[in-house]
Every structure is written in C-alpha cells, then in structure tokens.
C-alpha cells in the first residue's frame, strides 16, 4: 500500500495563481506523473481572473500517484504568488508545511499547539 497525500489546504487568505501557458507547461512536464486528483488536470479547481490567469482555488494532489511529493513541487514551481499550504498525508499520520513563493517551494515544520485529549 502506498502512502499518499490525502488533502492540501491553504493556510491564511493568500492564494496561488497560474497562467494558461504555465498550466500547459506543467501538464506536459508531468504527463503520466500527476495523480488522479490534481489541480493541473481539473479546471474545476481554477477560477478565471483574466483570459490568461487563473486562481488555484483548491490545490488538489490526491489519489493514486500522490505519494511523489517531488512531482507536486514540480507543479507548484509553475505558479505565481505566495501562499502557505498544509499537506496532510493518508490517515493524518503526517503533516507537512509548504510555502510557495513565485514558484519556489520550501518545506517547513508544522507545530500544532492546543491539541490534546482529555
């Protein structure tokens, strides 16, 4: 059984954008590598800002093949803007923080405060 990303959530109000040209480049570069649930293959995850620019409303990267985080980084490298993302892996066993700043992707430690069981 593979260990896949199950959910990616934006942290805060900032959103990423992608141009039609960069979307096409990402699709070509990741042909056959993107998972079945991918923001680069699903136009329902994009909101038109102008004829050539889309806001990525939901950064989906899930399903079969979502275990290759380097492919997610490749897709995010084609985006513009700055946003923080919370990546939740299958079962919630692991959480990764990612900051994307004009296509530059960096991973960060996620510290959860206030979580406890009574």
What mean pLDDT do residues 23-42 have? Answer: 92
Domain count, the chain: 1
pLDDT at 112 over 50: yes
Average pLDDT, the chain: 89
Domain assignment present for 118:
no
The residues, ordered by sequence, that sit 6+ positions from 98 with a Cβ below 8 Å of its Cβ are: 76, 84, 85, 87, 105, 106, 107, 108
- The answer as to whether 113 is a domain residue is no
Range with the lowest mean pLDDT among 8-12, 28-32, 73-77, 90-94? Answer: 90-94
How high is the pLDDT of residue 92?
75
21 phi/psi in degrees, rounded to 5: -65, -50
pLDDT in tens, 85-94: 999 988 777 8
Residue 116 lies in a domain: no
């Amino acid at each position: 059984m593979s260990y896949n990303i199950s959910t990616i959530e934006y942290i805060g109000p900032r959103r990423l954008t992608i141009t039609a040209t960069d979307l096409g480049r990402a699709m070509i570069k990741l042909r056959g590598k993107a998972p079945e649930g991918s923001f680069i293959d699903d136009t329902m995850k994009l909101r038109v800002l102008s004829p050539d620019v889309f806001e990525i409303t939901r950064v989906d990267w899930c399903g079969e093949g979502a275990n290759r985080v380097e492919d997610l980084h490749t897709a995010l490298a084609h985006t513009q803007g700055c946003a923080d993302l919370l990546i939740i892996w299958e079962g919630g066993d692991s959480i990764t923080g990612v900051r994307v700043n004009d296509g530059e992707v960096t991973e960060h430690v996620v510290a959860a405060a206030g979580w406890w069981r009574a």
